Amino acid sequence: MDLHVRYEGDDDPDKCTARKLARFDLAELHRSDRATPYGVVLNPHAERALSPADAAGDGDGSAEGPLVALDCSWESAGEARFSLPGEHRALPYLVAANPVNFGRPMRLTTVEALAAALCIFGEDDGAERILSKFTWGETFLELNEEPLRRYADCADSADVVAVQGEYLDR
Ligand SMILES: C[S@@+](CC[C@H](N)C(=O)[O-])C[C@H]1O[C@@H](n2cnc3c(N)ncnc32)[C@H](O)[C@@H]1O
């Protein structure tokens, strides 16, 4: 599945996970909303949770459109920043493994968010491929092994929200 990133460039370029993915040709960066392709936009403010139903269901596990993330600093990642055209979806409860926000729920880097979406779509190989470029990448899959497997088994967004509720209640 193609991975695209709307790249704001307001975060530390040395720590930017999207830039690293682009260096390895694993994602394409776009400098404006207009240049960014329409797709499934990973947006923590979205009302609807991402689920396997957002994938195409044509049998090969590939999604309807490309996955799109917005790479900007968390300080500037307010709702208004997510003006990209596309189907906006929030990821359900997951824990970050990156060194800046280790153990913190929902504060995922761009690569963690893209990898989580790939897992929910059943594309585990793609998730492992992009995370393999980061020393802590495998830890993300280990920390979230159970919720990712359960989200991937859900039929739709409502199911995902129900499973997420079990983790939020703990
Ligand atoms: C705010 S940026 C920070 C990126 C960071 N500078 C890096 O180097 O990876 C992280 C992006 O990942 C996606 N993301 C992170 N957590 C998410 C969540 N809970 N739901 C949906 N998307 C999420 C969004 O596209 C978000 O804008």
Residue 64 is predicted with a pLDDT of: 67
CB atoms under 10 Å from CB of 65, counted, come to: 18
Q: Is 70 annotated as a binding residue?
A: yes
In degrees, to the nearest 5, what angle opens at C-alpha 135 toward C-alphas 163 and 130? 60
Please say if the pLDDT value at position 65 is more than 90: no
Q: Is 109 annotated as a binding residue?
A: no
**pLDDT, average across residues 74-86:** 90
Best CA proximity match to 167, nearest among 106, 111, 87: 106
Residue whose CA lies nearest to ligand 1 atom number 12: 110
**pLDDT, average across residues 75-98:** 93
**pLDDT, average across residues 81-101:** 94
* Distance in angstroms (rounded) separating the CA atoms of residues 59 and 65: 15
For ligand 1, which residues put their CB under 6 angstroms from it? 11, 15-18, 42-44, 69-72, 74, 77, 90-91, 106, 108-110, 113
Q: Is 29 annotated as a binding residue?
A: no
In degrees, to the nearest 5, what angle opens at C-alpha 100 toward C-alphas 33 and 12? 45
pLDDT band at 117 (very low <50, low <70, confident <90, very high): very high
Question: What distance in angstroms lies between residue 110's CA and the mean position of ligand 1's atoms?
Answer: 5
